[in-house]
Amino acid sequence: MSTDHVNPTRRLSFLESTFQVATTQIFSSPIYTWATARGLVNLPQVAQAMRILHQRHPLLRARIAGEPGHYRFVTDVPIENIPLKECKLSEGDDINNILEPHMNKPLTGEDRTWGVLFVQGCRPDQWWLIVETHHAITDGRSAFHLLDQFGHILGDLVSGADIEIAALDLPAPIEHQLDPPGSMDHWLKTGEAWAEKIGEISHWPIDSDATFEDRCSCNTFTVHDEAFTRKLADACHAHGTTIQGAMAAASAMSISAHLGHAVNIDTITPVDLRRFAAVDIDPREVACKVICLDTGSFNVSKESDPWEIARAYKTTLGQQLEEDFYPPLDFNPEDVITSIDGWKDVDGRHTHGFSITNTGLLPFDGDYGPVQFEEVDITATLRFGGFPLLLSVYTYRHKLRCTYSWTQPTLSRSHALQLSRQVESHLRSMTQS
């Protein structure tokens, strides 16, 4: 049973605070999940499903109050304050034309932490459901689980089944669930040691500049069929790496091709910390429990062996995870404010390579009886330019899906599309080697 009516606030952890600073200062990090759906669903049913989820999850009732280092979740936001917007997708139009403007609107967390957009198609049984959540309350895994719960509730509403609210308690921060807990001293020393090993990445100039307010986040997508998805997974297994490793290799080689020379480049990798928790964590909970690790790839060129790069990436990432590189339990306001420095472009250059997040095989199939989520996708708002392109990778209904999101104009649309095509080309080549 939820107890947040008794204890309606809690301090944001270091990780949660980092994402609030990124949201308010550099207009980045809110997460967007969406489903391409089929079934006879109407707007009042979407509103009813929202109300149930709002009652179930304390952080969906939250707003974020206070200053950096002293942020607090206050769980007093009524469902009436959560926006539910409706629009229609015209024949031949693309959902991304609705998504991009939507994800470039501010979600500061100061008055709410989520919202929903219901997009009707040209047929009465065709629609899209876009769920926006503040990154301080969700990571990729919990955002997908929230979308799955939305689908279950809609299926039950359409079929007339009974629905249990199943209210959850206010989630504890991951920093309080790790053993040993992280300290700021260890966090900084370990991060500095790995930064020294990586060194300065190859010069990658931004394409154009604009203030954070005037930048925008843009997307493109690829979907691989079941045969290619299986072939790539088999090739990764045979070469002693993972799909994420293959993506890192393809990304590094694409940056080399883009810049026209061999590069030392790095990959920012969000890592789910739930596997390291000393307690069982309810998979349904809405919470953010990831850190971002920085892994280097050196002297990469078009002649490099991509499998060597992929194996080295996997090995290095494993070494980093063995060092108890956990976020600090205790921190001060300055720690929070400076935590996003590496996310920014500096002196006309990007400070990192790609960011790659692999949610893996999604643990649901989108079959909710009369409601079907035929496709699901995810991305996050990206307007800071430190790493110019975010690659979100996940497998759903046996198909590998990739969302490429970039900061414009620091990375132009033509260059972003060129990079995404190069990554895809390298992946295809890796399945043939």
Q: pLDDT tens-digit profile of 237-254?
A: 999 999 999 999 999 999
The backbone torsions φ and ψ at residue 412, rounded to the nearest 5 degrees and listed phi first, read -70, 160
Q: For the chain, what is the mean pLDDT?
A: 95
Count CB atoms within 10 A of the CB of residue 197: 12
Q: What is the pLDDT of residues 221-241, one digit of tens each?
A: 999 999 999 999 999 999 999
pLDDT score of 1 more than 60: no
Question: Strands 263-272, 354-361: parallel, antiparallel or unpaired by DSSP?
Answer: parallel
The pLDDT value given to residue 8? 79
Residues paired with residue 401 on neighbouring β-strands, in sequence order: 223, 394
C-alpha to C-alpha distance for 291 and 194, rounded to whole angstroms: 15
- Quick one: pLDDT band at residue 329, thresholds 50, 70, 90? very high
| Of the candidates 38, 15, 62, the residue with the CA atom closest to the CA atom of residue 168 | 62
Q: What is the pLDDT of residue 268?
A: 95
- The yes-or-no verdict on residue 418 having pLDDT over 90 is yes
Q: Which two tokens stand for residue 16?
A: 């949660």
Its pTM stands at 0.96
Tokens found for residue 19: 């994402």
- Whether the per-residue pLDDT at 4 is higher than 70: the answer is no
What would the two tokens of residue 204 be?
A: 């990658």
Name 375's bridge partners.
36
Please give the average per-residue pLDDT across 391-420, as a whole number: 98
Buried b (16+ CB within 10 A) or exposed e, 299-317: ebeeebebbebbbbbbebb
Which domains occur in the chain, in start order?
9-159 (3.30.559.10), 178-432 (3.30.559.30)
CB atoms inside a 10 Å sphere around CB 378: 23
As a whole number of angstroms, the distance between CA 319 and CA 216 comes to 35
Burial of residue 280 (number of CB atoms within 10 Å: 0-12, 13-18, 19+): exposed
The neighbour count for residue 6, using CB atoms within 10 Å, is 7
